[in-house]
Structure 1
Amino acid sequence: MNLKELEEPEESSETKETEEEDLEGLYDLVIPPGVTHSLIIELVNKFDLEPVKRIMDVSIIENEVKPSEVLVLRGDKETVDEAHEYLIKVLKKQIEEMGKPRIY
């Protein structure tokens, strides 16, 4: 996977009924804004997840929700759960690193 493939995931042209059948047993890991492309690509490759664009209601500010296009990584429940745990672990580590003093 490369950056171009990540930015332009394939869109399905199947009917809604067929899509629902195809999605049975699949789960989505919603990627929060600010996650780096390199980490997303790492998740896709490490856990063999499919990047998909999805329209979801997103809270922009308090009491304001609007439909927005978000990136999700799709796979079976066990794999998505493992990827979620890995994502949280990496993000926590990045946050800890940001809090450390830097010597220039």
Structure 2
Amino acid sequence: MDEDMMYEMRIPPGVTEGMVAEVVGKFDLELKNTDDGPLLCGKKENLENAQDHIVKALNERIKKLEKD
């Protein structure tokens, strides 16, 4: 029962459109636009994996900017 439940996760500031498109396709998520901003929707495990992916990508981008 819990495995079919859908969850929502806000997209944090700094996440690019390309990154959103990548996680939507890679982790079988849906993008919803709300008055409070965009949300990723999907199974809990998929959202957790997408969150890890986003954090890693943002950290890599920060490291690259620090070097420049």
Identify the structure with the greater strand proportion. 1
Out of 29, 40, 48, the position equivalent to 1:49 is 29
Identity %: 35
SS at match of 1:40: helix
Which whole-Å CA distance do the structure 2 matches of 1:85 and 1:35 have between them? 13
Q: Quick check: 2:15–2:54 contact (8 Å CA) kept in 1?
A: no
Corresponding residue for residue 56 of structure 2: 89
**Displacement, 1:36?**
0.8
Higher helix share: 2
2:33 equivalent to 1:33: no
- Of the two structures, which has the highest relative contact order with CA contacts closer than 8 Å and spacing of 6 or more? 2
Matched residue SS, 1:35: coil
Unmatched tracts of structure 1, length 5 or more: 1-23, 56-68
What CA RMSD, in Å, does the superposition of the two structures yield over aligned residues?
1.4
TM-score, normalization by structure 2: 0.85
Task: Flag structure 2 segments of 5+ consecutive residues without an equivalent.
Answer: none
Question: Distance between the aligned counterparts of 2:8 and 2:63, measured in 1?
Answer: 27
Q: Once the two structures are superposed, what CA deviation does each residue of 1:59-90 show, in whole Å capped at 9, x if it has no partner?
A: xxxxxxxxxx2101100101111111111011
In the alignment, which residue of structure 2 is the partner of 1:72?
A: 39
Q: Which has the larger radius of gyration?
A: 1
Matched letter for residue 12 of structure 2: P
